[in-house]
Structure 1
Amino acid sequence: MPGNLPAHVTLVGAGVIGRGWIRVFARHGVAVTVHDPDPAQIDRTLDWLERDLAADVTAGFVSAEARTKMLGCTRGEADLARALAVADYVQESAPEKLEVKRALFADLDRLTPAEAILASSTSALDIGEIARGLAGERRCVMAHPFNPPHLLPAVEMLGAAGTDPAALTKACAILSACGQIPVRMTRYVKGFLGNRIQAAVVREALHLLESGVADAVAIDAVIRDALALRWATIGNFGANHTNADEGITQYFGRYEPSFATLMNDLDSAPPRFDPSLLRAVGLAVEAREGVTGVDALIRRRDVMLTELRQLKHRHDQG
């Protein structure tokens, strides 16, 4: 394979995140084996891949030739040992339970070729705890994607205490070659970067909703049609830097008292996550987007994400 592309990737766990990883690797011609302890889940995931690629061909995002190539690169394998036998890179996307991931990584370490990278999609657990005590800890890394991985390219990266720095560098190079953007963290923190930031926004959005300040559509409008538009182009700190003629130092120098007052006021009780309220929110979102059901909303999201990425790519290319 050219450059840093692996010849063979094995995806362990065929849920929502695992299936997105298929497209990350297969679009570059990498041979992908999909494993899940539930054979029916493998079938559902491969069915999803066919349908999702067909929809992208219809939308003009993917050529019929590329679709055929990706389907031809991908196969399912219910036997874990066979799935791992020739892997150069393994991406684990199993349930978010430490005991499950520890047991699974012990199997991955035992069954894979000695130089294969073992990467976890964990969204909150410490890779140091997952890989602790393994003979092959040196090759274990965290590679936490965002959903869906094939459309949101950032991947949070971190090694365990015993990870060989060269293995982490290699993992980042592999993901970069596959179109992802590795984001190197310097130490573990629960929830990493994205989920901590997301939790802060979700907490306040639900607080505003539950306390009757505004409805879900209004709250989403401020995020979707204001804040997120800036964040999607130049990020949070980039937006801060452009909010004053002399940049971020002037901006926070001017508004520090206001931000301090707001931040002190954000110390609300955790939201209740009331099911009836959340169901109403889901229906309101679907009505706003003109769709019925989560699958239709996912497709609408993916179309807009693809178009946005294409636009950003054109601007990045100058």
Structure 2
Amino acid sequence: MRCANPLNRFTRPVSVLAVVAAGMALPALADGRPSPFSLQAAWVSTDKADVGDATLGRNLYMFDAKGSYALSRQWSVGWGLGYDVLDYSWRTADGKLLGGAASPWSSINRYNVSLNIGYRTGNWLFGFSPMLQYAWADTASSSDARSWGLVASAMHRFEDGNLLGVGAIYLDDIGETRALPFLAVRWQLTDSLTLANPFDAGFSGPAGLELSYRFNPKWELGLGSSRRSQRLLLNDDGQTVEIDEWVSFLRLGWQLGQKVSLNAYAGYMFGGEMELGSGEREDLSAEGAGAIAFSVAF
């Protein structure tokens, strides 16, 4: 069992390895057994990044609950609940951001819920997941902070057990509608080496890619990267901000027991941009990041 990658949700709007879209445990479906109920807690922290004339440091505290149940050999259903608190530490000369168009915010609250439906026929695995999210800064209220989305995927299971497919994400985000394709994969290259998706596809964007090496049943090392996105409500006048960044990471996974795992991450975030809904934008300088995620299944 692998913890959800906390770097996923840090720059969104962060897995047991998300091999399929929308957090559906298709590998479990492929094996004919349901995924367990799981709980996760994670913490992420970044170095200071330059945003125009300002500097920004971020910390994330994340809590998740997930479950998946096999209704038959063909059908499964799952759910996910999440709550995140993001602390933003700004330093500005004049108390303004993005050319004076926005004021600093100190925290973000984010709630999300998803329903996951899986169907298997022959060697094909299909997934469908509606999602709902609320994300707002402490300078706004939650009433207009709603986003919803749909994720659909199709994966083919080959005779050797490898999985490869495609998916699409449709997002009716705060003040913006968009659609994105993504690659869904879990490919066992050798007995110890696997290429798979490290993230859940959703509001944060596509699922990314990670190459992982399992030394033994307890220890695993992974190297991955993906483009991440986050959109949130800044004030009650409808002003929004979107943060886009690339994240590359090194992951060390430790399986403490059959149902308990701990993952540590060293990340590097680069190619970032912060943009207001009104069009003002600034580049984010590259920054380092670290994360720890603890997960237990029942």
The two structures have a TM-score, normalised by structure 2, of 0.25
Structure (1 or 2) with the larger CA radius of gyration: 1
Higher helix proportion = 1
**Which structure shows the higher strand fraction?**
2
Comparing both chains, which one has the higher relative contact order based on Cα–Cα distances under 8 Å and sequence gaps of 6 or more?
A: 2
